[in-house]
Amino acid sequence: MPTQDTPALLFGAPLVQGRWCVRLAEAAELPALLRLRARAFRGGDTADDSDEYDADSLHLWLGEPGEAPRATLRLRLHGDGPALLNGYAARFYDLRAMAAAGGPVLELGRLCTDPDRAGEGDLLRLVWAGVARLVLATGAQRLIGCTSFHTTDPGPLGPALALLAARYQGPQALTPGRKAPEVLGFEVLGFEVLGVEAIATPPDPAAAALLPPLLRAYLALGGWVSDHLVIDRDLGTCHVLTCVDIASLPAARKRVLTQMAAG
């Protein structure tokens, strides 16, 4: 956990919605969050999903007060370019262009809900409320993360990847370079980055349905993705680098997130 041992001061009072609440986890709660992550990502809570980034990250705790956590999200604030280049996403993507652009970046990862229990919709809304509060508290200029499809086979994802290639490419000056051992560029898959006419065309509903909920949430905030897919054999997934520029948030979304952050 971050050395500023004041997570409650950074985040403030827990955000409550119905019976659920979201807050920053204390250091002593990290083992419970790791067990939840192991069930979600490794198929059992005796597996090890910890890594070298956990100790210096913030972790959201979501659930009912007094009960075991039902969801979690890891967040890491990179205050400058060198810090960003030492983050988790930088293991897979060449982020030197983004690092050179400067500004604090809030990296999100390991979002999961308890795979054995329901109630995910309300929890995911609270996750974004917690993220919004931390954006306001830290002054982050961008949100980034590796957003995963739960497969290592990109074949069935063709329509979704074509949609990302056509409509959701970021600024060329910030586009991540290719770094991971297993990479599939959209151009190799035959997906062309199209122009304004394609962006103005409503997306294919079948393609949009293939996008994971987290990726849809990023894109609804005006987010953009890398021009390639990374195959992650460790987690049995493939992912794209996703970025949301806070200054470019649609005004209506910004108002909603600010209201959510206020509780």
The stretch 147-156 carries a mean pLDDT of: 94
Beta strands (DSSP E) in 52-118 are 58-63, 71-78, 93-94, 105-113
Can you tell me the distance from the alpha carbon of 255 to that of 177, in angstroms, rounded to the nearest whole number? 33
Confidence of residue 85 (pLDDT cuts 50, 70, 90): very high
Chain segment 180-211, per-residue pLDDT in tens? 999 999 887 665 544 333 444 455 778 889 99
Determine the Cα angle at 245 with ends 241 and 248, to 5°. 140
Residues 123/130, Cβ–Cβ less than 8 Å? no
Of residues 40, 76, 56, the one with CA closest to residue 150: 40
Domain ranges of the chain: 7-262
Of residues 64, 10, 54, 61, the one with CA closest to residue 32: 61
Chain segment 137-147, per-residue pLDDT in tens? 999 999 999 99
Q: Give me the architecture of the 7-262 domain, per CATH.
A: 3-Layer(aba) Sandwich (3.40)
User: pTM (2 decimals)?
Assistant: 0.90
Can you tell me the distance from the alpha carbon of 35 to that of 50, in angstroms, rounded to the nearest whole number? 9
